[in-house]
Amino acid sequence: MIELNQPLIVYTAIAFAFLVFALAKFGFGPIVSMLDEREKKIRESIEQAEHARLESERLLRDYEEKLAEARAEAHKIIAEGKQLGENLRAEIKTKADEEVKLMIAKAEDQINRDVEQAIKELRTEVGDLSVTLAAKVIEKELDKAAHEQLIENYLSEVGRLS
């Protein structure tokens, strides 16, 4: 069996009590304060991380809102650009149509004036030819052959003028 050495047990118990007393007096205080300080730093780090997370979430929401606003603004600008283009196209088409109508009207007026001028000139020429023919008829008395010859000459002159 195991023998118990009583003086050794007493010395060991005294040494152990002294060690516990020394640690309680000098060691536990600094160890506990060091652990408290470490706990405090960890708690502060966690709080800072939580604060940073909340801040980053807020910034993300702000960014998403601004992005949505920018997209809406871009869509609005594109729509306005399309509308402006359509308005400009319609305006240009309207002006072109008006210019075409004006050009057609001017051309028709010019054609009408030219036709009227040609008719006036033709009437004047026919009148002159009629007077000339009448003068020739009066100047000589015509037999049937001379009369036919005079009509042929008149018709050939009118044919050359037209």
Per-residue confidence (pLDDT) for residue 137, from 0 to 100 = 66
Q: Tell me what the mean pLDDT of segment 132-154 comes to.
A: 70
Residue 65 included in any domain: yes
Higher pLDDT: 105 or 1? It is 105
Residues whose CB falls within 8 Å of the CB of residue 150, separated by 6 or more in sequence, listed in order: 133, 136, 137, 142
Residue 9 included in any domain: no
Residue 15 included in any domain: no
Neighbours of 122 (CB within 10 A): 13
Residue 8 included in any domain: no
Residue 2 included in any domain: no
Residue 49 included in any domain: yes
**The total number of structural domains that make up the chain:** 1
Over the stretch 117-130, which tens digit does the pLDDT of each residue have? 988 888 788 777 77
Q: Are 149 and 133 in contact (CB under 8 A)?
A: no
Over the stretch 44-95, which tens digit does the pLDDT of each residue have? 999 999 999 999 999 999 999 999 999 999 999 999 999 999 999 999 999 9
Per-residue confidence (pLDDT) for residue 18, from 0 to 100 = 93
Output the CA–CA distances (angstroms, integers) from residue 10 to 1, 21, 23, 129, 139, in the order listed. 20, 16, 20, 169, 184
Which domain does 65 fall in, by range?
25-161
Higher pLDDT: 47 or 147? It is 47
Q: How far apart are CA 161 and CA 155, in angstroms?
A: 10
Q: How far apart are CA 93 and CA 87, in angstroms?
A: 10
Per-residue confidence (pLDDT) for residue 86, from 0 to 100 = 94
Residue 139 included in any domain: yes
Q: Is the dihedral of CA 132, 138, 144, 145 positive or negative?
A: negative
Q: Tell me what the mean pLDDT of segment 139-156 comes to.
A: 71
Residue 11 included in any domain: no
Per-residue confidence (pLDDT) for residue 120, from 0 to 100 = 84
Output the CA–CA distances (angstroms, integers) from residue 60 to 53, 65, 70, in the order listed. 10, 9, 15
